[in-house]
Amino acid sequence: MRAVRLHEIDRENGPKNFRVEQVDDPQPAPGELLVAVRRAAFNRRDVFISQGLYPGIQLPCIPGSDGAGTVAAHGEGAQGPALGTRVVIDPTLGWGPSQRIWLRSAQVLGMPHQGTFAEYIAVPAENVHPAPASLSDDEAAAIPLAGVTAYRALVSRGGCTKDDVVLIPGVGSGVQTFVLLFAKKIGAKVIVTSSSDEKLERAKALGADVAINYNTAERWEKDVQAVDGGPSLVVDSVGGDTLGKAVNVTRYGGRVVIYGGTTGDAKIRPYSVFWKQLDIMGSSMGSPHDFAAMLAMFDPSTSSGQAIKPVVDRVYAMNDVAAAAESVDKGAQFGKVLLAVGEA
Ligand SMILES: NC(=O)c1ccc[n+]([C@@H]2O[C@H](COP(=O)([O-])OP(=O)(O)OC[C@H]3O[C@@H](n4cnc5c(N)ncnc54)[C@H](OP(=O)(O)O)[C@@H]3O)[C@@H](O)[C@H]2O)c1
């Protein structure tokens, strides 16, 4: 099969090192399904791996945590969707029995386990779910990692309700666009920030109530606080100064959920946390329950509110994988960057 492989890491030029090669087809082990991948999607994780910024890197590797395709074979004793079913893959491997916390041994698909940037992938049958019927292959492939991370952070950890005012810093992020979609489906009021007016316009078209450019606003945190006295729920992956300021403007009794730290360490004022009696929570990936509940958000027949669709920025041919990785590295996208697996 054709697969994208990474043989070396490079802090400066990592994204240029993804290349397409011919490798042996994987065989499904007992309890696994073989999925013929049609579309895969990038996450910042794939770029971080190429730059050596991810723990436990093993090379060479086939990256990619997100994939949609069809079931091509069943390993011995494997249950799950029938041959030919259109499916999406849950990228969390071995979450464990608790909804509250994953096992330390849990892994994310795509290094060290073979990832979705390949024509075939063998995964445990319980990780394979029918794709929401209302979504195209592109849209389905855009969902898994970003969707489950957003759902767990916003809903399972953040407890978002229609009465919340949710702050979403850096809405151009793949995960944050899902946080916006889910928060609006739940009926919450949403404040987004971005470096780009164009991204803010797109966020408004998806339902954002207040949109603030964090580069051009004199003090974006003041503008945020002016909305109903500040957010009751912050969902952040920016970290750094952004997180420190977001904590300062969160209203009394609010919740702050952190699932990433793109800009590095944050300085948080203890006073802001204890005096306002804030809850600060961490969140990563999502449990099998989170994944199933997240997929249901896209099924118009099982969830309430308006129909929502994942945001696809652009689909790259497999041979253009390095260009796709560089665009994710630059953060120029709004929504998900996809790879047309198998297409030259
Ligand atoms: N814990 C987990 O399970 C998990 C899962 C997925 C991702 N993550 C982490 O979450 C983060 C986002 O991932 P992603 O794939 O969604 O990334 P992404 O698509 O590359 O998005 C990064 C975005 O961060 C925003 N940003 C950067 N600097 C900013 C600043 N100074 N102030 C405000 N916003 C800023 C930008 O938004 P604008 O373009 O709108 O300005 C940028 O587009 C990464 O750190 C990733 O590692 C964690």
Classify residue 41 by burial, with Cβ atoms within 10 Å: 0-12, 13-18, 19+: buried
- The average pLDDT across 209-223 equals 98
Q: How far, in Å, CA of 86 to CA of 95, rounded?
A: 24
Structure confidence at residue 270 as a pLDDT band (50, 70, 90) = very high
Question: What's residue 26's pLDDT?
Answer: 98
**Dihedral Cα 178, 298, 189, 285, nearest 10 deg:** -40
Q: Fold for 2-143+310-340, please state it.
A: Quinone Oxidoreductase; Chain A, domain 1 (3.90.180)
Q: Which of 34-38, 201-205, 284-288, 340-344 has the lowest mean pLDDT?
A: 340-344
pTM for this predicted structure: 0.96
Phi, psi of 51 (to 5 degrees): -100, 0
Instruction: Give CATH superfamily name and number for 151-282.
Output: NAD(P)-binding Rossmann-like Domain (3.40.50.720)
Count CA within 13 A, CB hemisphere, residue 45: 27
Q: How far, in Å, CA of 99 to CA of 17, rounded?
A: 37
Q: How far, in Å, CA of 248 to CA of 211, rounded?
A: 19
| Ligand 1 pocket, mutate which of 49, 101, 175 (most atoms under 8 A from CB) | 175
Is residue 260 pLDDT above 90, yes or no? yes
Kindly give the distance from the C-alpha atom of residue 239 to the centroid of ligand 1, in angstroms, as a whole number.
9
Three-state SS at 28: coil
pLDDT digits (tens, 9 = 90+) for 286-306: 999 999 999 999 987 765 666
Q: Which residues' Cβ are closer than 6 Å to ligand 1?
A: 43-45, 145, 149, 169-175, 193-196, 199, 214, 237-238, 242, 259-263, 284-285, 328, 331
Cis before 112? omega within 30: yes
Structure confidence at residue 244 as a pLDDT band (50, 70, 90) = very high
**Where are the CATH 3.40.50.720 domain residues in the chain?**
151-282
Is residue 204 pLDDT above 70, yes or no? yes
Alpha helices in the chain (DSSP H): 44-50, 137-142, 144-151, 174-186, 197-205, 220-225, 240-249, 270-275, 288-296, 321-330
Question: What's residue 301's pLDDT?
Answer: 72
**Where are the CATH 3.90.180.10 domain residues in the chain?**
2-143+310-340
